[in-house]
Amino acid sequence: MERTRHLQGLLIVVALVALVGLYLWQNSQPSVMVSIPAATPPPADAPPADWQLALEQQLAAAATPLATPDIGLSPFVPPTLLPTATEAVIFQPVEIQGTPWPTPTPRPTDPASTAPGPTPFPSPTGIFVAETTAELGFELPPEQVPLSPHANDHFWLMRPVDASANSASLFYYPYGSDGPQNEWRVHHGVDIPNPVGKPIRAGGAGTVVFAGNGGELLDTREMDIYPSYGNVVVIEHDFGFRGQKIFTLYAHMASILVSQGQHVTAGDIIGLIGGTGDVSGPHVHLEVRLGENRYFSAYNPLLWIAPYLGHGVVAGRVAGTDGQLIEDITVTLSRRGRVVETTTTYIQPRLPGQRRDWHAIPDPGWGENFVLGDIPAGDYEISVTIGGRRIAQPITVAAGTTNFVELGPGLAATPQPVSAD
């Protein structure tokens, strides 16, 4: 058995050696190159082969010649042009018969339109209506001025900034406010913030009565101009209100572009937005002074600047049961449960004989103690909280006019503004 195993192992080794030797022998043989002779082209003058002659004879016998059509050709004759007219053809007008346009019936005169207004200005002849703010790329332009739909309205001034600029005044420091913490002087104007260098425009036609730095005016017998205004321009307008002069003041300018005595028209650039004087940021401080060019003669500008198209102004009074106006009360305007705008009521005199410049002055026509400007037309709720009691009532804001309301315990729901006399 053991010899048999040795014999089998030896046979396996011999077989492996034979296979390896066969493999090495095959790979060591030289490669056999097979060459294919190139075809030799027939000489150019060699006669055609028999098969070529036979094919040509068959094709010649089967071919049928095509008949050549006889195309008759006539000589070219150029077209005859029409003779040119020597006289122009005149078309006689034809009368078209139709129904003539009816003569428009004059509209009845609105009693509100007879309210006194700035005499140099004609009544508004039309309102430019913008399509959408998205198409314009900026806010809607204001109504044309002068605008006085109501007998007490006097929207006679343009905005002091471009429509493409910010036109909203600071909500936390409105006219008649002494600041959110009651630490500031009572505000007698509105502040419209914008970047430095934006143009400031005249609100109406008039003559520049002051153009300079507030600290340069030493004689204040004719006007109130303070160093806190910085660079300031004051315009006395060509129109008045109920026999009184109207002045507008523009403060904190970076540059003044007009001079004293110069006449300007509405929309003229009079300076550039800046931060001169006492400011916390660049803006234009706007005042509207009535009767005298004095700080204590300044009224709320939001009742003089025309609102945006489709917008109105809300003004009103908040008073107690004794009819006395209540100061520093938050007034909230809401729509569908969401707050749209807030403001505070005017600061009132605290002590008998206190200087008038320490409190705001209600408008001579409206007698208000708060104003909300540029409110989109529609239905709202307006509310105040007095002594822990919330008092609210609905209000419908009409566009292009002042919408007046009174709030307080025991006050009528339908308010009556101050007489226009």
pLDDT tens-digit profile, the chain (421 residues):
666 666 777 778 778 877 777 777 666 655 545 455 555 555 656 666 666 776 667 666 655 555 555 545 555 555 544 444 444 434 344 343 444 434 434 434 444 434 443 333 332 323 232 333 333 344 566 777 777 788 889 999 999 998 888 888 777 778 887 766 666 678 888 999 999 999 999 999 999 999 999 877 655 567 888 888 999 999 999 999 989 999 999 999 999 999 999 999 999 999 999 999 988 899 999 999 999 998 889 999 999 999 999 999 999 999 988 888 898 899 999 999 999 999 999 887 665 555 544 678 899 999 999 999 999 999 999 999 998 899 999 999 999 999 999 998 865 444 445 544 4
Strands (E), 166-310: 190-193, 199-201, 206-213, 231-241, 244-256, 263-264, 269-273, 283-290, 298-299
**Predicted local distance difference test score (pLDDT) of residue 101:** 38
- In the numeric block, the tokens 């400007």 are attached to 373
**Predicted local distance difference test score (pLDDT) of residue 288:** 96
**Predicted local distance difference test score (pLDDT) of residue 170:** 72
23-to-11, 14, 27, 41 alpha-carbon distances in Å: 19, 14, 6, 45
Cβ-in-10-Å burial (0-12, 13-18, 19+) of 163 comes to middle
Are 59 and 52 contacting, i.e. CB atoms less than 8 angstroms apart?
Answer: no
Q: Which amino acid is at 163?
A: A
pTM: 0.64
228-to-149, 181, 251, 291, 416 alpha-carbon distances in Å: 37, 20, 9, 23, 38
Are 124 and 306 contacting, i.e. CB atoms less than 8 angstroms apart?
Answer: no
Domains within the chain, CATH numbers bracketed: 133-407 (2.70.70.10)
**Predicted local distance difference test score (pLDDT) of residue 135:** 39
**Predicted local distance difference test score (pLDDT) of residue 410:** 64
**Predicted local distance difference test score (pLDDT) of residue 201:** 96
Sequence-distant (6+) residues with CB within 8 A of 291 are 244, 245, 297
Cβ-in-10-Å burial (0-12, 13-18, 19+) of 328 comes to middle
Q: Which amino acid is at 254?
A: A
**Predicted local distance difference test score (pLDDT) of residue 90:** 40
Is omega for the bond preceding 149 within 30 degrees of 0, making it cis?
no
